[in-house]
Structure 1
Amino acid sequence: MELISEVSCGAWLRERVGGWARVGGVAGAGFEAYARILHPVPVHREDLTVADRWGMHPVLEEGRWPWSRVAARQGLTMHPLVQWNRLADLHQGVDFADGWRVGQSRDGALDVDLLAGLTRHLREATRSPEQLVVGIWAGWGELTGSTVVYAGEDDGGKETDAEAEADARMRLHLEEQRTSVAPDVAAAVRRGPLLVLPGREYVLLATDCDELADETWPHRAGIGWTSVFDGPLPQLVWPADHAWVVASEIDWDSTIVAGSRALVDAVLADGRFEAFEVEEGSDLTWEGDLVNPPRAGWSAGP
C-alpha cells in the first residue's frame, strides 16, 4: 500500500455522506442496495471447577461466534437492525452457565479474513479492481502514538510460565511498535493531508483487490500492526469507478457494503458472512433495535 497525498479523490463520497448513524449517511447515499455484515464476536470456554490464586479459570477452548448463536441461547431475535447492546452487556459481554464467555464485537472494522473473503465479490462488481482507495481513521492510537500498554507489576509471587510468556510477548510488541507505522503515514496523521468527512478524518492509501485478498497485508502496510497485537483496519474502501463502498464506521459493530443489486445479493448469499439487507435510511444507533428489549443484566442461562 502507498499513501495517497491527493485526498480530493474522496470528494465524490463527501457529497454523498453525512446523515449521522444512517446507513447511507456513512456508506454514501444513492446506491442500488445495501448489506449489513455483523462483526462476529470472540468467545472462550472456561473450566469453572478450577481457579488460580486470582480466581481466574483456565481456558479450555476459544473461537468466534455469529450474533445469531448468542441470540438463540437467550431467546432473542435476529433481524436487520439488531444491536449488540441488546444481545450482550456492552462492558461485560455475556456469560453462560456452561462456561462459555462471550466478549465484545470489534467496533470499527471487519476482521481481516472476512475482508479478504469479501474481496472476491468486490472484484466482480467493479471495472477497476486494481485501483482501490482505503481510508483509515486517523484517530487510532496506533497511528497517533497515544496507545498505552501497561505491564503487570511484580506482586512478589513466583512468575508462572504463562506470565513469563506474556511478559516476553509484551517486550517484543513494544520493540516492534516503534517502527510499526510508516513515516509517511505518521506524518499524514500529524499534518495531513487527510480526507475530511463529517465528524471523521481519514488517511488514504492506494491498494488493489489482490492485496486485500491476502490476509497478511496489514503487517506490511505500516499502519501499526506488530507480530503480537493487531492494529487498525480500513473504515472505508472504494474503487476508482465508485461502483461500491465498504464502510466500517468506527463506532459500529457492523460493516456496510453499498453497491449494485448483484453485489449485495452475492454478499447476502455468502455463508461466511452474517449479513442482512438494510435500507439507505436505516437507523444503526444503539437504540435502532426496536425488536429486542433493552438489556437488564450481565449474565444468561445455558
Structure 2
Amino acid sequence: METADLRLARDDDVAAASWIKPRLDGSFGAVTRHVPVGYAAYVRICHPVDDETGRQVTWSAVAAATGRRAHPTMQWRALAGAARWAGSDPWCGELAPPELARLCGILAQHTAVPGSCFFCLWDGWGWLPRTVPAQVHHGDRDYVLLTGPLHAALQLGDRPRPDWFLPQSPNLFWPADRAWCVATEIDFDSTLVGGTAELAHHLLNDPGLDAWPVDPDDSLAADADRLNPLD
C-alpha cells in the first residue's frame, strides 16, 4: 500500500492526535472511552444488517422481528436472540461505505475545515504492510495517522490490484478544528460521534442512518443491554 493509493498523506506529527488521549475517560465500554469527553452531544450509529432476503434493515426492525425492544444502548446479541434472527450480523469495526458517505456528507456541514482532517487507522488490519508503522497509541490500540480532506475517508482500504478495492472506514477521525470526533472501535458494531447539539440533531433525523442519542457514560459493552436479556 502506498499513501498515494489512499489519496491521503501520512502524518508523522503525532501532536495532531495528542489532544484525544487525555480526554478519553470512563469505565469499560463507555462512550467517552472511545470518543473524547467535552462534546455537547453524542450519537451512536448502528451498523446496518440485512434480513434473510438481503434487504437492509434497521436494528429497530430486527427488534420487532425478534420480539425485543430497540433502545439507544441495545446490544446485538441480546437483540437478535439465539437462533431468532435469520439475517446477517452487523459488521464490527467498520461502517459500510454508503453509511460512511452519508455521515461524511453531514459532518462536512459541521466543521469550518472539511478539507483538513485527520484519520487514525488501526495498525492490526491485515492488509496494512508492516512497513507502515503505527504512530498513535490510545489504550490498547495502535494507529497509523493520516491527513487529508474529509471525503478521503471513503478512499481508505485495500487495493490488491488496480481494479479491486476493499474499503475500510477509519477507526478514528476528526477535523483540524476538532468540531467533532468519530470513532469506530474494532470490536464495536456501531460508530460513535461526539459533536455539537446541531450535529447530533442532524444525524438523528437523517433517514439513511440508524442513529441513536447516547450519554457520555453509557456503556456499549456486549453485556450492557439492560432491557433485552441474553438467551
- Fold conserved (TM > 0.5)? yes
Matched, 1:119 2:111: no
1:132 to 117, 127, 131: 117
> Would the alpha carbon gap of residues 188 and 105 (structure 1) be closer, same or farther in structure 2, given more than 3 Å must change?
same
**Aligned with 2:127: secondary structure?**
helix
Give 1:224 deviation, angstroms. 1.9
2:37 counterpart of 1:37: no
* Contact 2:66–2:85 (8 Å) recurs in 1: no
The alignment partner of 1:135 has SS state of strand
Deviation readout 1:97-147 (Å, 9 max, x if unpaired): xxxxx1211111211111111112211211111100111111112225xxx
* Partner deviation per Cα, 1:8-46 (whole Å, 9 max, x = no partner): 21000111114331101101111100000000113443x
Aligned length: 221
Task: Give the corresponding residue for 1:236.
Answer: 172
SS in 2 for 1:202: strand
Instruction: Determine the structure 2 residue equivalent to 1:205.
Output: 146
Which residue does the alignment assign to 1:170? none
In structure 2, what is the Cα distance between the partners aligned to 1:73 and 1:89? 10
**Cα deviations by residue, 1:206-243 (Å, 9 ceiling, x for unpaired):** 1213434xx5x23xxxx424455725321111000111
Once the 2 structures are TM-superposed, how far is the Cα of residue 89 of structure 1 from its aligned partner? 5.5
State the superposition RMSD in angstroms: 1.9
SS in 2 for 1:188: coil
Residue 188 (str. 1) matches residue 122 (str. 2): no
Q: Percent identity?
A: 32
3-state DSSP of counterpart to 2:146: strand
Whole-angstrom CA distance in 2 between matches of 1:122 and 1:130: 12
1:234 aligns to what SS in structure 2?
coil
Cα deviation for residue 3 of structure 1 reads: 1.1
Distance 2:119 2:225 in 1: 30
- Equivalent position of 2:24 in the other structure: 17
| Match of residue 65, structure 2, among 69, 73, 95 | 73
Aligned in 2, Cα 1:128/1:273: closer, same or farther, shift over 3 Å? same
CA distance in 1, matches of 2:152, 2:93: 20
94, 97, 109: which one pairs with 2:85?
A: 94
3-state SS in 2 of match to 1:68: helix
Inter-CA distance 83–201: structure 2 relative to 1 (3 Å threshold): same
Kindly indicate whether the alpha-carbon contact (under 8 Å) linking 2:118 and 2:176 is maintained by their aligned counterparts in 1: yes
Counterpart of 2:191 in structure 1 is: 255
Following TM superposition, by how much is the alpha carbon of 1:188 offset from its aligned partner in structure 2, in angstroms? Answer: 2.3
User: Which residue matches 2:3?
Assistant: none
Q: TM-score scaled to structure 2, two decimals? A: 0.88
Q: Give yes or no for the alignment of 1:27 onto 2:35.
A: yes
Distance 1:278 1:143, change over 3 A: same
> Which consecutive unaligned segments of at least 5 residues does structure 2 have?
1-7
